[in-house]
Structure formats: C-alpha cells, structure tokens
Structure 1
C-alpha cells in the first residue's frame, strides 16, 4: 500500500494496481500548485463529506478517469446527476470492493454543498485491504465512536485531522490514536489556511512523547506500508 499526500485532506492511495483518491481539493489549494491534476488517474474517489475543500476536484478527476465515487447517498446522487458513476453508502455499512472491504464510519462535523444545500451526514472510511488496514477519519471532532474501529480491524495506519478549529487538534488526535489503538498516524487538514496552521515540530514531539509517530507529509510525499 502506497499513500501519497496531495495537500489538505487529499490523498492518493495505491493498493496493488488500484488507485483511490480521497477528498480531492487540489486545483483550489495554493499549497498544492505543484500537483498535476490532469495526470491524476483514479479507479475510485472516496469523499468524506460535501464541503468544497473535500470535493472540489471530484468531477474533473472522475470524468477524466471514469472513476467511481464512493460516499454517502446524497453526495453520490449529486455526482450521478453530473454523469459520474457512484456507490452510495451510509454509516455502519460495509461493501467489498476490488481493493478491499470499506466501512463508512461516523464523523462529527457538518456537511453541505457549496450552494448551501444538504450534503448528507459526514463520515470516514475504514479500509480493510488484503494486507493492510487503514482508517480515514474525515473532518471530525474526537468521538467515542473511534473506539469501535479496533473491534473491527487492527489498524496499520490512521489518517486524522490535526489542524484544530474546524476539527480536532493535535491533543485530541493523540487521544483518538489511543481509542483507535494505532500508533502510526498521518496528519491532515492542517496549514491550508490561517485557522488551521500548526507548529510541526511541537505536534510531532507531542506524539513522540506518547510513543506514537505523527507523519506530517509534504505535498507530493509518499510512504509505503
């Protein structure tokens, strides 16, 4: 499994020969200007919720690569009206895809389309692939529901927001990692704009002091699991 950070909460996950893009917000993110949007191909696009900073580039990527959008019912319906294929899910539901088993998990946040209309309830994803398990929290506060994740799968990595203000911050993300029983964390939803700028060294040290590994990847940087 290869995970590449595309900025903000966007990732490219490669599982064998299948490419999955999560929450694409690239063309409107000045920090991601070096990412070539036209070169991104996807088999699947996972969308946690309807806010623009998580789905701004779904349409262009999906239409260019004929990708399937996986999200809640409302978001999938929205994109199906644009001629994009989708697979709708809702909280607690699980489906077996070509790359592994996906469960749509709870998130505590809000969710609306750019025009203000209802975007369904926000969520996250538990991915149980053939050899690795990962959890993508989406935009969320710390929630006791995270304690349910390790009852379903032993995680190899978790992607958690750490920018605070709109989501949980570093201190709550440490507690979340305890709930998840996962010590390897990839941070997201930080530095994109003023409200969520963080001190990288301080954040990494806080995790380190708890015997945990916080990875704050540079945009375009990847890790292999």
Structure 2
C-alpha cells in the first residue's frame, strides 16, 4: 500500500492499478503543494463528511475519472443530485469494491455541505477502514476521541492510522496519542493540522509525543509518499 499526502486530510492510497483518494481538498488548500484536480487519477473518491475542507474537489475528480463517490447515504445523495456516480454506505457497513474494501466507522463531529447560500445536512460523519493489498488504513476523518476506538482496534488489524491532531475542531495531539494506543497501531500519519492558524501544531512535538508512546509518527509533507 502506497499513501501520498496532499495536505490537510487528503490521502491518495494505491496498490497497483487500484487508486482511491480520501477527502480531496485541493484547489482551496494552501498546503496541497499546488496539486490540481486534473492530476488525480483514481478509481473512487471516499468522503468522511461534507465540510468544504474535505469535500473539496470531489465532484470534479469524480467526473473527470468517471468514478463513484463513496460516502454516507445523505452525502452520496447530494453528490448524485450534482451528477456524480455514487456508492452510498452507512456507519458499520462494509463493501468490497474489487481490489479494495471500505468499512465506515463512527466519528464524533458534524457534517454539512454549503450549497450556494445555505448549509445542507450531510448525514453522519464517518471514519474509513480502507483495506487494499493486504494492508488496512484507518482514516479517522474529523473526530473527537471516543471510547469505541478501543473496539475498532480490537476488531480490526490496522496497519496505519491517519488521525486528526489540529485541536479546536477535532482531537488535539494528546488525545490522538491515546486514540492510537486504543487502536493498537504503531504507525500514524497526522492529518487536519497546519492548514489554518487555529489548527497549527509543531511537528517535532508531535513526533516526540507519539514517540514516547512507542508509535512512529510520519509527519508527511504535501505530495510526499509512504509505503507500508
């Protein structure tokens, strides 16, 4: 499994011919490394929730790749109303897409889509268990720390977790370390930080906090890749 980070919470995950992108916030993302939607070649777009800094360029990428948007029911319905192909799911559900599988977990956050002049309810936010090439990535989406992360860790063999660390809107670094421990993971990619002033964090401190818990912290730069 190869994972490429495009800033904020956006990850492109691939194994051979199978490629998916999670939360493709690119065009308006100051930390995307100048990545444009037309550079992205994928088999699917996966969304954790509807907020603009995650929904981002979803519709353009889905259209250009003629691929489905995988999301919770209400968010998938919204994408479908905008002309996108979709595969709707909901929390606790799993589906095999051929070459990769997706299971949605709960996340403690909110979810809406801004459609011109108003916010539209976009269903429950989610975390994503993405299995591909014999490896499993847990993308927690935007979430607070919650006790059932222990259950997620007990019931799934997770090779690496992408955890929000920015605080204010999501978990902060200390809670993210606890989350990693509960998930039984030894490798973490911090996400949802350093995009805006209110969620700025220090990479050296992140590495130290996770390192003290014997967890390897990959503070990836935009467009940097990691293979597991």
TM-score, reference length from structure 2: 0.96
* Structure 1: unaligned runs, 5 residues or longer: none
Deviation at 1:128, TM superposition (A): 2.6
Q: Deviations over 1:81-126 (max 9, x none)?
A: 1221111111111111112332110000011111311010000111
RMSD across aligned positions (CA): 1.1
Q: What corresponds to 2:166 in structure 1?
A: 163
C-alpha contact (below 8 Å) 1:124/1:137 kept by paired residues: yes
- How far the C-alpha of 1:152 sits from its partner, in A, is 2.6
| TM-score, length of structure 1 as denominator length | 0.97
Please name the residue that 1:44 is paired with.
44
Local SS of the residue matching 1:53: helix
Pairwise CA distance, 1:41: 1.3
What residue is the counterpart of 1:85 in the other structure?
85
1:139 to 134, 139, 142: 142
Mapped partners of 2:100, 2:61: distance in 1 = 22
SS in 2 for 1:117: strand
Alignment partner, residue 204 of structure 1: 207
Does residue 62 in structure 1 map to residue 66 in structure 2?
Answer: no
Partner of 1:94: 94
Separation in 1, partners of 2:73, 2:82: 15
**Contact 1:27–1:33 (Cα < 8 Å) also in 2:** no
Report how far residue 34 of structure 1 moved: 2.2
